[in-house]
Amino acid sequence: MRGVVVQPPLEQAGRDDWLVFSMLRAAARAGDRPEPRPAAEWFAHLAEVQPGSEREVEMHVVSPLFEQLGYR
């Protein structure tokens, strides 16, 4: 597979060995947009949030985070 590194190499791995697959990270190209990052205000708000349930974590942390990252 192109761009995938296997350790140990398959030729050296035994039948019961664990294999670690890694993907090489592509170099940034000119004009690529940087990965989205939430605004500092969002992190400040996050520091004040004290969710008491999984639903509140979803409402106040997870959903807003996905929105900040550009997901719909």
50: left (phi over 0), alpha (psi -120 to 50) or beta: beta
List the domain boundaries for the chain.
4-25+36-68
Average pLDDT of span 6-34: 81
Query: What is the pTM (predicted TM-score) of this model?
Result: 0.46
Largest Cα–Cα distance in the chain? 53
> What pLDDT was estimated at residue 27?
61
Does position 18 have pLDDT exceeding 90, yes or no?
A: yes
Task: Give dist(CA 65, CA 42) in Å, integer.
Answer: 8
Mean of the per-residue pLDDT values of the chain = 83
